[in-house]
Structure 1
Amino acid sequence: MTTLDELFVRLREATTPTEIENLQNGIWQIWLTTGDLLLDKHLEAGMRAMAAGNYTQAIADFTALIELQPAYAEGWNKRATAYYLRGEYRASLDDVRETLRREPRHFGALAGWANMLRAIADDRGTLRVLLRLEALCPHWPGLQSQLREVRDQLGE
């Protein structure tokens, strides 16, 4: 079985969109595995609620998951996404930070954070986060153009 660390090494070296997507999917499979039936129940319920647009219920399910297993990074990331979709950006950013404390390589959290920073025109912060993403996967589709746009905004 391929480990998370091995997948991240390969992601850093990946150059084609298909290869990057396949590696990301492998990483997501690991991240979405809690190893506990009760935690899986909360994760699945929250994901169903979020997909249905019921962000309040999703946040409740992900909060229950976080309370049961605060070290599980994906619980924080999923709740960050639900908060974001509900328009609660500060709460979303707080949960992104918690996600990254637990899994600093979480490209989903980094990409979401960069999007939120761009939305509030924090170009310096956006650049910092995009550079972290670039360290994980320099050939991430669209990343280099985003970096150019932000650097142009900053006059760099």
Structure 2
Amino acid sequence: MDSLDDLFSRLRVATSPTEIEALQDGIWQLWLTTNHPLLDKHLEAGMRALSAEEYTVAIAEFTELTTASPEYAEGWNKRATAYYLRGEFNAALRDVRETLRLEPRHFGALSGWAAILRTIGDNRGALLVLQRLEKLCPGWPGLQNQLRSLRDALEE
């Protein structure tokens, strides 16, 4: 299996959407590996709740996960997602910051952070976050259009 560093170095130069998706999938597989049965249980239960739009349950499961394993970045990222979907942007942003402190290359957290900033009208902040994402994967599908759209909005 490829290491996280290897997958990220390949992602940085990937240009085809199929290759980018395959590399992202490989990274997600590593991120979603807790190597602990109890943590797996909370992660899976939280993800099921998230899919069922049961955000309170998801937040509770991901909180169990982050409490039991505070160094596990994906627990924070998943909880940020649940908070975001529930409209709790400040809580989501706190968890995004923690995710990125633990894994600065977390493209899911960066993408989510940019979405939150756009939602609350901070286009300049969203542009800065997407520029960080661009350093990880310039060929990310749709990224260049998002960057152009934000730059245009800021020039108006």
Classify the TM-score, shorter chain: over 0.9
Whole-angstrom distance in 1 between the partners of 2:154 and 2:51? 36
Whole-angstrom distance in 1 between the partners of 2:10 and 2:91? 32
Q: Which amino acid aligns with 1:103?
A: E
**CA shift digits 1:22-67 (9 cap, x unpaired):** 0000000000000001100100010011111111011000000000
The structure 1 segments of at least 4 consecutive aligned residues displaced by more than 2 Å after TM superposition are none
Mapped pair 1:59 → 2:59 = yes
Task: Provide the aligned C-alpha RMSD in A.
Answer: 0.9
Mapped pair 1:93 → 2:59 = no
User: 1:23 aligns to what?
Assistant: 23
Is the partner of 1:110 in helix, strand or coil? helix
Is the partner of 1:53 in helix, strand or coil? coil
User: 1:5 aligns to what?
Assistant: 5
Q: Identity rate of aligned residues, in percent? A: 71
Q: Which amino acid aligns with 1:30?
A: L
Post-superposition shift, 1:120?
1.5
Post-superposition shift, 1:149?
0.9
Whole-angstrom distance in 1 between the partners of 2:82 and 2:99? 14
User: 2:71 aligns to what?
Assistant: 71
Whole-angstrom distance in 2 between the partners of 1:121 and 1:84? 15
Mapped pair 1:33 → 2:37 = no
Whole-angstrom distance in 2 between the partners of 1:52 and 1:146? 29
Is the partner of 1:109 in helix, strand or coil? helix
Post-superposition shift, 1:123?
1.4
Where in structure 2 are there 5+ consecutive unaligned residues?
none
User: 1:102 aligns to what?
Assistant: 102
Whole-angstrom distance in 2 between the partners of 1:63 and 1:96? 14
Post-superposition shift, 1:87?
1.0
Whole-angstrom distance in 1 between the partners of 2:85 and 2:146? 22
Post-superposition shift, 1:119?
1.2
Whole-angstrom distance in 1 between the partners of 2:56 and 2:22? 31
Is the partner of 1:145 in helix, strand or coil? helix
- How many residues get paired? 156
The alignment's TM-score, normalised by the length of structure 2, stands at 0.98
Post-superposition shift, 1:99?
0.4
The alignment's TM-score, normalised by the length of structure 1, stands at 0.98
Q: Which amino acid aligns with 1:36?
A: H
User: 1:141 aligns to what?
Assistant: 141
